[in-house]
DNA sequence: TAAATATACTACTAATTTAGTGGGAATTGA
DNA sequence: TCAATTCCCACTAAATTAGTAGTATATTTA
């Protein structure tokens, strides 16, 4: 399961993506209200996302946050890895958080590893091709279809 | 990431599956040694697996554990759910551990939900068709190929 | 029938992770 | 100057994970 932090990060970044072309920053309090994310927690998350290069900010009374990359470039896999850690089910098949499996004598002969590797590939295939833009387009489609 | 408990459970059940046709129970201490699982922890895990109907046991000096189902019937998805909880990335798309997403006003209009639903389907497709027998066969194949 | 050797079961504990919160410093615009 | 904003550090509280301890109960065998 994804931590709440990751879910909040995705929601917040999507909110920023929606106003990407406005050229005006969005305040933490605004995002916090519309996305129902605890104010102070969101503040900490956005700060981290800034350090990781996803967003930039402006201080002061007209301040706020804005995306520092194009929303098409920000993939779900990036956000998950930046905030939540591994996508893989076991450390021995994680690309970004690899750790050796102590109990398995030979990783290359481990059938469980083979299977969870397949799972990671299947998950990553989806998560690494879905961008913030995709999320927004999908939402529009969902709303359009619901109205019919 | 899967908890160690789940990984240990898979390992232990696979060990039991390997001797399924011997009609003799395997002692906790034997499994603990060959699979390098902490003795007392394994004891607790096997006890739980018995309560869940995966294994049965015999007490006393000739006692031990044995599978109470055919190894082809025990799928990775079953073991994960029994010991580790959800396979889904978010509770709103979990089949067995569903919880509503508080922050999302309309689940049916949530694009993030749509994507994690796809991920769950892709993962489950693999995990629900891989049985203990499959793990054993895969291991044999890995060993055979390594020898070449 | 008693000893030896298993599992059964309850009840803890210790470490880690998650989900936050509080409060003040720095920056900016009016 | 002052009001509104982000920046940043230091905490805390609750939940989860990864075990462990100790005793009771069952079974075989000498
Ligand atoms: S090597 Fe990771 S599960 Fe065996
Ligand atoms: S409904 Fe679960 S993420 Fe939106």
pTM: 0.96
Query: CA neighbours within 13 Å on the CB side: how many for B108?
Result: 5
Q: Where are the beta strands (DSSP E) in chain B?
A: 55-58, 64-67
% of chain B exceeding 90 in pLDDT: 95
* Residue A99 pLDDT level (bands cut at 50, 70, 90): very high
pLDDT of residue B54: 98
Taking the centre of ligand 1 as the mean of its atom positions, its distance from the CA of residue A77, in whole angstroms, is: 23
* Residue B84 pLDDT level (bands cut at 50, 70, 90): confident
Listed in sequence order, the DSSP H helices in chain A are: 4-18, 28-35, 39-51, 76-83, 111-127, 132-147
pLDDT at A13 over 80: yes
Spanning CA of A73 to C1' of C17, the rounded length in angstroms is 30
Structure-block tokens of residue A3: 């931590």
Helix or strand holding residue B34 (H, E): helix B28-35
pLDDT of residue B148: 77
pLDDT at A84 over 90: no
Q: What is the CATH number of domain A1-74?
A: 1.10.10.10
pLDDT at A58 over 80: yes
pLDDT digits (tens, 9 = 90+) for A110-125: 999 999 999 999 999 9
Nearest to B76 by CA among A93, A110, A117, A112: A112
CA B60 from chain center: how many Å? Answer: 27
Closest residue to A89, CB basis, from B1, B109, B110: B1
Mean pLDDT of A53-59: 98
Domain ranges of chain B: 1-74
Pocket around ligand 1 at a 6 A CB cut-off: A 90, 92, 101, 104, 107, 110, 112-113
Three-class DSSP category at A57? strand
pLDDT of residue A85: 83
Closest residue to B127, CB basis, from A35, A76, A119: A119
pLDDT of residue A35: 97
pLDDT digits (tens, 9 = 90+) for B40-49: 999 999 999 9
% of chain B exceeding 70 in pLDDT: 100
B64 touches strand C (CB under 7 A): yes
Q: How far apart are CA A72 and CA B4, in angstroms?
A: 36
Q: How far apart are CA B92 and CA A104, in angstroms?
A: 34
pLDDT of residue A82: 97
Nearest to A112 by CA among B72, B139, B85, B89: B139
Structure-block tokens of residue A126: 């989806």
User: Is residue B95 a contact partner of residue B85, using CB atoms and an 8 Å limit?
Assistant: no
Which residue has the least CA–C1' distance to nucleotide C30? A61
Q: CB distance from B126 to chain A under 8 Å?
A: yes
In this structure, how many other beta carbons lie within 10 angstroms of the beta carbon of residue B91?
Answer: 17
Structure-block tokens of residue B69: 């189902």
In this structure, how many other beta carbons lie within 10 angstroms of the beta carbon of residue A127?
Answer: 21
pLDDT of residue B112: 98
Q: CB distance from B108 to chain A under 8 Å?
A: yes
Q: CB distance from A114 to chain B under 8 Å?
A: yes
pLDDT at B66 over 80: yes
Q: How high does pLDDT run on average in chain B?
A: 97
Q: How high does pLDDT run on average in chain A?
A: 97
């Amino acid at each position: 399961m994804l931590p709440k932090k990751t879910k909040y990060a995705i929601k917040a970044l999507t909110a920023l993506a929606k106003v990407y072309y406005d050229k005006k920053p969005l305040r933490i309090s605004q995002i916090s209200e519309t996305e129902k994310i605890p104010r102070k927690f969101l503040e900490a998350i956005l700060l981290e996302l800034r350090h990781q290069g996803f967003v930039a900010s402006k201080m002061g009374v007209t301040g706020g946050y804005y995306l520092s990359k194009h929303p098409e470039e920000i993939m779900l896999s990036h956000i998950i890895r930046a905030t939540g850690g591994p996508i893989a089910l076991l450390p021995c098949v994680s690309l970004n958080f690899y750790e050796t499996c102590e109990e398995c004598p030979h990783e290359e002969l481990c059938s469980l590893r083979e299977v969870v590797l397949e799972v990671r590939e299947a998950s990553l295939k989806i998560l690494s091709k879905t961008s913030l833009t995709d999320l927004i387009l999908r939402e529009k489609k969902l709303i359009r279809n619901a109205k019919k």
